[in-house]
Structure 1
Amino acid sequence: MTEPDLNLLIALDVLLAEGSVAGAARRLGLSASAMSRTLSRLRATVGDPLLVRAGRNMVLTPYAEEIRERAQNAAFEARAILRPPSNSLNLATLERHFTLRTNAGFIEIFGAALIDAVAAVAPLVQLRFMPKPEKTAKYLREGLIDLEVGVLGEMGPEIRLTALYRDRFVGVVRKGHPLEQEGEMTPEKYAASGHVVVSRHERGTGPVDVLLAELNLTRKIAAMVPGFPAALAVAQASDLVALVPETFLLNQPGLYGNPGEARVHIFDLPVKTKEITISLMWHPRSEVDPAHRWLRQLVMSVCRERVPG
């Protein structure tokens, strides 16, 4: 049996990642005609068209979709074997950009400190923060990002992770709000108030509502907003109650730091919600990369310094 040309593996990985002959040609430094010939060889080798025309664009065949991640991992392993990573890492001359997929709250709390920490030892390294509208392992699996920060969720068994810190939700109202004057917070007082909630879903309900329902109580949700900064702004300017992560308030010391000047009142929820573990996640392909390992350790150090314990 004739052995397959393993040089085609790299071309296959790039073609499936780009979904375009022209894009793959640019990445590999080939002409469009040379890339087309390579695609023809790949089609003959695997017995599948791989890329087919759909209007003006090319799309992957079902088989190509099925093998895309395997091809990417195989190409990565082949490169690692032929170019084993060096154990030495010169941060002063390291030129690299890393992409982190996080929510806006993480950037507000830790972004500046992390950027400063990187610049102090690796001035040629660039960080790119990518928004996180949904939970999915796609970006790590396809190598589109280097790190993801968030709650584990449905990320897949192969994803590596380590806990960064633990968080919990607290209630926030404006200074002088009736709830601040009424003493001990009870589930009844809390539920009877109007609420502004952060939600990507139409219902806007969550674990707090489940716990209140066990007491035959229901919150009145007056407004839903897309993020915690908006919820906090609404709570400051109204009689609505906001529900925000405690760590989010780390970046808002002027709101509550000086009791005489505080603009909000923060209180523990009258129902016991579970703590949230915020994790750092990465794909196994980056496990032994020295630069990636350095960045992981730096993110952990910055987070744990700002959220001790």
Structure 2
Amino acid sequence: MKNKGMKEFQFTNLDEIENVLYRYIKRNIGPGTYLSERKRISDNIYIYKIGNTYPAFVHTPSNKVPIIKFLKFPVVGTIRIERKNNLFKVSIPSREDIIQKGKEKYNSLIVSAENILLDKTYSKIVKIPLVQTAMSKIREILIQLEIKQEINLFDYYPSEREKLLRYLKFLEDMDYVRKEKGKYIEGNRLSVIRHKLKGEEPTELYTKIMADILRKGYTYMSKHLRLLQIVPYLRIANSYYFPSYEFNELLSIDKHRFTTFIADYINLFYNYRTPEYKLNNQINDVVRCGILKEEENYYTGYEKIFNEFSRDFNAL
């Protein structure tokens, strides 16, 4: 049975198909679409992958005027060619299917890129003042465990217990705490980290512990504990390093255009617009914590973060 929205055409010559397909997808799906090389599946079946590209304006030190580079979209559809007798039947997905699949695949790539960046930058993000404020309840629990070796919910006001319990269950799932005889005590992972970091100055010790919690629990913290103060910083980092990866170079963006550059990519990646004054402050925090850096009249990134990000993204 033909899939809903699937277009079918018939040809008598395989060689004429590619030119027709190229013109068809450009006209009916979008000007940024392209065909990959034909792949032969069997004697009678061939497929093409449909990809997509979109333009982006970039400022670099060597180009004072913005230049256009094209970001490659992942594969967003498949064209199937089947030979029956002397005819070739071509099945092409609809424009709506292509758009939907493109969105799904691209969103998946953005999430993957964000997770990789978190792994490379968590020890820096956790030093941002607003992130420390967001995670203050977790820090309070860890300090309480160190001082009293246990946490009893009944030591807290009834109005505080529900929120505290949510945090304790989160930390319990990560093996930072465990429940014993109705009370919460230090979990195995926390014990191991404390032992490993024995001798560290207390402030640095807790920064490293909080960084580990952020790395392991970011998704839960942002979605379920609603610690949304953390989200913008990772989005800014992703909106710089992922385009750099796509352009295959560590981008340097003019200071006067950097906020617009980041805002445009946040809107593209996350469909969200941040007020400029907020974004400027957040960018400043990302620079101060060492995820991005300022050079003369440009903002740029760090080679180490970029190279490790590119390596891990290529391995997906």
Q: Tell me the TM-score normalized by structure 1.
A: 0.28
Which structure has greater helix proportion?
Answer: 2
Q: Which has the higher contact order (CA 8 A, sep 6+)?
A: 1
TM-score under structure 2 length normalisation:
0.27
